[in-house]
Amino acid sequence: SDLADTVDDDDDDDAVVPDLPCKVEHEGSDDTLDHDQETDLTKETLAPEPQYSPTLTEATQLSKDFDTDKDQLAEKPEKTNSLTKTLPAADVKHPLQDIWVFWYYQGDKKKSWYENLLQLWEFDTAEDFWAIYNHTIPPSNLQPGRDFNLFKKGIRPEWEDVNNIEGGIWSITLRERRMRSPEMDAVWTEVAMLLIGHQFDHLAAFVNGATYSARKNQDRVSLWVRANLDEHRGEVQAIGERLRKAVHFAGNNFILEYATSQDWKNKAGSTVNARMILHMQ
């Protein structure tokens, strides 16, 4: 069940984390291993050490700077024959206003939700976010049943969390039911930038995190909102409007709708009755 208890965060630091969704390059080749080959990666090896307390946001400009950084990196690609590639350290770091945690749900049917949900990385600078972003596979390459989660520290990606239970989610799905689409990668990136860049402004306190859910018939990007719909309908709708503006490039290919946590908790099958629908333009 998606609502089962989850793992203790105090796992042994030396424990091997299985099946991490990380890119790994071969010596002298640009090929990457898929996630089923990516074993023996440890949290200690890959996790960037936070260096700053969150005090400011420069994510919009940083996203532009990052395009230049990627071009420079492409001229001198890093090669390794190790599955324990470390994340590169930046000389200058830009603190974020919040500390964020990247979670991965393995989707192993032999394990409980408690065992499947892995806390991989914690970061509080823009540079560490991009390091993680560039060392994970595109979410559209995830196998069905697996999730990426990006949440504020202290909030778990589950309905029962006290910060989620009274709220709900804005979900973005393709209008046509397709198993996979690179378009969803762009949507995921934009949503992540909204979060870490504090681009919801005064509404940021109502936003907890986001999930990319890979499913057999249709992938979904979800923005988790802590606000109670009955008490904060205006704020919930404003968050949805800001989200629609950020992913407007997707055009009419996507559906943007809101349902409460209780709606999702009590849903029948894979669908849920929406409380709000915003049409993409």
φ, ψ of residue 209 to 5 degrees: the values are 170, -170
CB-hemisphere CA count at 13 Å for 90? 20
Considering 23-27, 112-116, 122-126, 266-270, the range whose residues carry the highest mean pLDDT is 122-126
The amino acid at 136 = T
**Domain of residue 177, residue span:** 95-279
* pLDDT above 90 coverage of the chain, percent: 44
The answer to whether 138 and 212 are in contact (CB under 8 A) is no
Q: Number of structural domains, the chain?
A: 1
Query: For position 80, what pLDDT does the model report?
Result: 30
Give the mean pLDDT of 102-127: 92
Q: Give me the CATH number covering residue 234.
A: 3.30.760.10
Residue 52 lies in a domain: no
Query: For position 86, what pLDDT does the model report?
Result: 52
| Cα–Cα nearest to 23, from 96, 76, 83 | 83
Query: For position 113, what pLDDT does the model report?
Result: 84
Quick one: residue 36, left, alpha or beta (phi over 0 = left, psi -120 to 50 = alpha)?
alpha
Residue 187 lies in a domain: yes
Query: For position 215, what pLDDT does the model report?
Result: 87
Dmax (CA) for the chain in angstroms is 57
Enter the pTM of the model. 0.69
Q: Higher confidence at residue 154 or residue 262?
A: 154
Residue 35 lies in a domain: no
Least confident of 3-12, 143-152, 195-204, 237-246: 3-12
Q: Where are the beta strands (DSSP E) in the chain?
A: 16-17, 41-42, 95-105, 117-125, 147-152, 168-174, 207-213, 220-225, 254-260, 276-278
The amino acid at 154 = G
Q: pLDDT confidence of 253, banded at 50, 70, 90?
A: confident
Exposure class string for 50-87: b at 16+ Cβ within 10 A, else e: beeebeebebeebeeebeeeeeeeeeeeeeeeebebeb
The amino acid at 133 = Y
Give the DSSP per-residue string, 22-38: B--BPTT---B--TTT-
Residue 184 lies in a domain: yes
Residue 73 lies in a domain: no
CA–CA dist 104, 86 (Å, integer): 18
Residue 70 lies in a domain: no
Q: pLDDT confidence of 29, banded at 50, 70, 90?
A: very low
Indicate the SS3 state at residue 65: helix
Residue 78 has pLDDT above 60, yes or no: no
Residue 43 lies in a domain: no
Q: Higher confidence at residue 73 or residue 127?
A: 127
* Tens-digit pLDDT profile for residues 81-105: 333 345 555 567 899 999 999 999 9
